[in-house]
């Protein structure tokens, strides 16, 4: 059987508003992405080498939640271009061997979507049941106690009909009723529309929320919640997230993907390792090809996962134990909804050192790695004046603008992004592609080397994961190609002091946070600097170590 492309891929997430502006309006667009494709992969090892791109939403939208409030699933927002531009982007990606994933938002639409406008027009409208409409309780209370992800009740009253509608996010994002077969068919047809145009797959937004409790039963109170914690954590999301009925819907979505060869579904899901793994389906019927495990970013909201070897080992151990046979984990260290990696791990000013180690770990694990744009050059969250903030989520919870600022291509005042005032301000000028591109010691060069090494090393692409014994504060694992001896080792030190880590077999240091160590032969151990990491390719592995 042909090996599925996503098993060996490194995927690069682009926030389209922030990648490259081509028309001087201060907003990134599809034409800008086309112009930067050679940076991502031109077929040579001077490029980053990614295999696929995921675009955050590009559909027409009022932009109340910057594209996650969709008003037309079968179009392109004018800020980003036209359908013709999208078709050219697809073609240009494919010409370079790059797959292109869009961001599908099946849980909710915009309140400006024609479906919702019809649904809201009267109690008798044929599309009334496409959304969740409920009357107040006899005592005048809300239909249930659910809270919005962005804070406040998940219900808003429509004065026109006197009923409340459900919105798990902003009030401008009403939830679709996936128990209505017409809704499910319409959303499946969205997938087919884009597959026919050549899109290679979708990242699926809040996959675990599309099927709720059939009676919309109240969520239980969270006994661990305390004043000062995030409001949405005041209840356990038992009846509106990971509800068991969702897995049947996931399998039906997978059937649509299977109508088109080599299309890939990547789900945004949350929960324990067991809950995440359930989205892959079972022996009788598959579910998603990939389900995100965000536990390197956050395990218990709203806290960030510490950079701690013991915690990270447990995360991978749990994921490997829970995932179905034949499936593959999917990890990331950043995305458009969370603080950037260095900002999360910079309490002692050493976030960049940890970022270098993270690149080696992410590319060494058994997984399909996702890299958030700018992560490879060490972009950090940007302090943004109140008058320039854009994200409406900040009004009830934390805002996400600081991690969505424009990509920094050079150190000029425009950062190579736009000739106009950018939609969000730039970060520190010294974090840019131009200055790091030819510097072999830069974070960009380390990412590039790690990605290309992964491409040509069989054990890193196909090998099993096995955690090896190591000292507290360190993490050692091996990747072994099927039917062969262990062929690659990754060692991580999350402590503030140097350590010596034993390795089972002799080999060559192929990657290291201290890059002067690369190319050195090792026998029984490897020395790691504080917060350092290294990858050793064992003798006999089918790889080319030279760059």
pLDDT given at position 398: 75
Residue in 276, 137, 282, 268 with CA at minimum distance from that of residue 205: 268
Residue 232, domain member (yes or no): no
φ, ψ of residue 533 to 5 degrees: the values are: -150, 155
Q: Are residues 263 and 340 both part of a single domain?
A: yes
Looking at residue 232, the DSSP 8-state letter turns out to be G
Which residues make Cβ contacts (< 8 Å) with residue 481, sequence separation at least 6? Answer: 458, 459, 462, 463, 487, 541, 542
In-domain check, residue 66 = yes
**Is 408 a member of any domain?**
yes
Check residue 395 and give its pLDDT.
58
Q: Are residues 206 and 341 in the same domain?
A: yes
Sign of the CA dihedral with 189 first, then 194, 196, and 201 last: negative
pLDDT at site 40: 98
pLDDT of residue 231: 84
Q: What is the pLDDT of residues 254-269, one digit of tens each?
A: 999 999 999 999 999 9
426-432 contact pairs (CB < 8 A, 24+):
426/382, 427/379, 427/380, 427/381, 427/382, 428/380, 431/374, 431/377, 431/378, 431/379, 431/380, 432/377, 432/408
The reply to whether 437 and 334 lie within a common domain is yes
Indicate if the pLDDT at residue 15 is higher than 90: yes
Q: Is residue 60 part of a domain?
A: yes
Q: Considering the domain boundaries, does residue 233 fall inside one?
A: no
Give the pLDDT confidence of 206-246 residue by residue, as tens digits: 999 999 999 999 999 999 988 878 888 899 999 999 999 99
Is the pLDDT at 547 greater than 50? The verdict is no
> For the domain that residue 526 is a member of, what is the CATH number?
2.60.40.1180
Q: DSSP letters of 110-153?
A: -TTSHHHHHHHH-TT-TTGGGB-EEPPPTTS--SS--B-TTSSB
332 is a domain residue: yes
Question: Rg for the chain (alpha carbons), in Å?
Answer: 23
User: Any idea which of 100-114, 300-314, 374-388, 487-501 has the lowest mean pLDDT?
Assistant: 300-314
Write out the residue range of the structural domain in which residue 480 sits.
Answer: 463-538
- The verdict on 488 and 534 lying in the same domain is yes
Co-location of 343 and 195 in the same domain: yes
- CATH code of the domain covering residue 160: 3.90.400.10
Q: Is 196 a catalytic residue?
A: no
3-class SS letters over 304-330: CCCCCHHHHHHHHHHHHHHCCCCCCCC
417 with 513, same domain: the answer is no
The structural domain count of the chain equals 3
* Whether residues 203 and 89 fall in one domain: yes
Map tokens 């005048």 to a residue.
140
Q: List, in sequence order, every residue forming a beta bridge with 101; answer none if it has no partner.
A: 54, 201
pLDDT in tens, 516-527: 999 999 998 999
- Would the pLDDT of 545 be above 80? no
- Average confidence score pLDDT of the chain: 95
Same domain, 194 and 327: yes
Question: Phi and psi for 281 in degrees, rounded to 5?
Answer: 90, -160
pLDDT of residue 540: 80
Q: Are residues 205 and 343 in the same domain?
A: yes
Residue 2, number of CB atoms within 10 A of its CB:
6
Domain CATH code at residue 309? 3.20.20.80
Q: Which of 84, 259, 301, 539 is catalytic?
A: 259
pLDDT for res 227 = 85
Give yes or no: residues 34 and 158 share one domain: no
In a domain, 51, yes or no: yes
Of 65, 172, 205, 391, which residue is the catalytic one? 205
Tell whether the model's pLDDT for residue 431 goes beyond 60.
yes
Is residue 9 domain-shared with residue 139, that is, in the same domain? no
Strand partners, 331: 293
Where does the pLDDT of residue 440 fall: very low under 50, low under 70, confident under 90, or very high at 90 and above? very high
Single out the residue of 142, 144, 140, 117 nearest to residue 128, CA to CA: 117
Long-range contacts of 225-234, Cβ-Cβ distance < 8 Å, separation of 24 or more? 229/302, 230/151, 230/301, 230/302, 230/397, 231/147, 231/151, 231/152, 231/396, 231/397, 232/147, 232/148, 232/149, 232/151, 232/301, 232/397, 233/301, 233/302, 234/147
Residues linked to residue 12 through DSSP beta bridges, in sequence order: 53, 371
Can you tell me the distance from the alpha carbon of 364 to that of 509, in angstroms, rounded to the nearest whole number?
Answer: 13
Are 378 and 479 contained in the same domain? no
Say if 320 falls within a structural domain. yes
Is position 259 annotated as part of the catalytic site? Answer: yes
Q: What CA–CA distance (Å, rounded) separates 188 from 173? A: 20
């Amino acid at each position: 059987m042909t090996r599925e492309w996503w098993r060996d891929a490194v995927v690069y997430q682009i926030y389209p508003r922030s990648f490259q502006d081509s028309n001087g309006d201060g907003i990134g667009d599809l034409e800008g992405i086309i112009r930067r494709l050679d940076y991502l992969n031109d077929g040579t090892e001077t490029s980053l080498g990614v295999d696929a791109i995921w675009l955050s939403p590009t559909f027409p939208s009022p932009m109340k939640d910057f594209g996650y409030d969709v008003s037309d699933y079968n179009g392109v927002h004018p800020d980003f271009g036209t359908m013709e531009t999208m078709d050219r982007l697809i073609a240009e990606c494919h010409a370079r061997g790059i797959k292109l994933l869009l961001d599908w938002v099946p849980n909710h639409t915009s309140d400006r979507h024609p479906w919702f406008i019809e649904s809201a027009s009267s109690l008798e409208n044929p599309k009334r049941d496409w959304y969740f409409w409920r009357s107040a309780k006899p005592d005048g209370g809300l239909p249930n106690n659910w809270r919005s992800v962005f804070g406040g009740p998940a219900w808003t009253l429509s004065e026109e009909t006197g009923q409340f509608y459900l919105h798990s996010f902003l009030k401008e994002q009403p939830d679709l009723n996936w128990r209505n077969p017409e809704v499910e068919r319409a959303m499946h047809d969205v997938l087919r529309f884009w597959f026919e145009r050549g899109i290679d797959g979708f990242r699926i937004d809040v996959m675990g929320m599309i099927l709720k409790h059939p009676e919309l039963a109240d969520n239980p109170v969270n006994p661990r919640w305390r004043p000062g914690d995030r409001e949405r954590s005041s209840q356990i999301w038992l009846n509106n997230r990971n509800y068991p009925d969702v897995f049947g819907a996931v399998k039906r979505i997978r059937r649509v993907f299977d109508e088109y060869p080599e299309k890939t579904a990547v789900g945004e899901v949350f929960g324990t390792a067991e809950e995440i793994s359930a989205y892959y389906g079972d022996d009788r019927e598959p579910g998603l090809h990939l389900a995100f495990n965000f536990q390197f970013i956050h395990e218990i909201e709203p806290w960030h996962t510490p950079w701690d070897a013991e915690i990270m080992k447990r995360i991978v151990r749990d994921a490997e134990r829970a995932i179905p046979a034949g499936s593959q984990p999917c990890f990331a260290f950043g995305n458009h909804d969370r603080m950037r990696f260095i900002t999360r791990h910079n309490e002692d000013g050493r976030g960049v050192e940890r970022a270098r180690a993270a690149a080696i770990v992410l590319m060494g694990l058994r997984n399909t790695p996702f890299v958030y744009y700018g992560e490879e050059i060490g972009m950090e969250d940007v302090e943004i004046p109140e008058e320039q903030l854009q994200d409406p989520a900040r009004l009830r919870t934390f805002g996400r603008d600081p991690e969505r600022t424009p990509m920094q291509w050079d150190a000029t005042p425009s950062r190579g992004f736009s000739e106009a005032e950018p939609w969000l301000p730039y970060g520190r000028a010294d974090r840019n592609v131009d200055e790091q591109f030819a510097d072999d010691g830069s974070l960009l060069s380390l990412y590039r080397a790690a990605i290309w090494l992964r491409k040509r090393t069989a054990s890193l692409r196909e090998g099993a994961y096995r955690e090896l014994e190591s000292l507290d504060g360190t993490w050692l694992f091996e990747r072994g190609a099927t039917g062969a001896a262990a062929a690659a080792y990754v060692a991580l030190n999350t402590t503030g002091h140097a350590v010596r880590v034993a390795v089972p077999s002799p080999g060559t240091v192929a990657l290291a946070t201290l890059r002067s160590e690369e190319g050195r032969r090792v026998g029984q151990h490897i020395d790691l600097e504080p917060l350092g990491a290294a990858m050793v390719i064992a003798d006999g592995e089918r790889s080319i170590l030279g760059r």
